[in-house]
Copies of this chain bind each other. A is one copy, B any other.
Amino acid sequence: MTPLNYALLGLIRAEARSGYALRKVFETTPMGSFSSSPGSVYPALKNLQKAGVIESRPTGKKSVFAITGAGDAAFEAWLRQPVTASENTDIALLRFAFLHDYPDRQLSLAFLLSYARACHDKIVGLKAFMTSDTWQQMPLQTRLAVQHGLRITEAAAEWAADAHLQLSEEIKP
């Protein structure tokens, strides 16, 4: 199961779709980090079918892909995974976006806490590296490049805190 597979699975879970419709999502939304090329999407859909997580269903004239029970379980397990410091940010955010489809908002809050924690770990790691011998020997611009990573991660941590606040407020009152 690659990120592309999960992206397809999540979209199909939200709404039964044709391969072409899925490709259009990748072309016209910020999910464009995934390739919309037929050579990636159609083989991936075949794999998902073979794995039993989606099935082809006739809807009116055309047939679309729908998620199966096994697919639903696999997808939710993926969403529930804690965020790790090494996890790709785009993928983590994709999981967060998909969490909306679940009524239990606690899952989303748990994700945000986990994400903030992962950011924090990364920040700690970068700051630790910034005191190492290697760091001292690095030229100015290499250090600036690393600082870029630090800034970005700090912004991400702030976002997580903000988002957590907004979601909490949306639930309570």
Contact = CB atoms under 8 A, between A and B. Distances in A.
Interface of A: 28-30, 89, 93-94, 96-97, 99-101, 108, 126, 129, 134, 139-142, 144-149, 151-152, 154-156, 158-159, 163, 166-167, 170
User: What are the nearest 8 A-B pairs in CB distance?
Assistant: A155-B155, A100-B141, A97-B145, A100-B139, A97-B142, A93-B145, A151-B159, A148-B159
A63 to B, nearest CB: 25
Contacts of A159: 147-148, 151-152
A151 B156 contact: yes
A149 B96 contact: no
Contact of A155 (B99, B145, B154, B167): B154
Nearest to A139: B100
A156 B149 contact: no
Nearest to A25: B134
Nearest to A86: B32
Contacts of A144: 96-97, 163, 166
A71 to B, nearest CB: 20
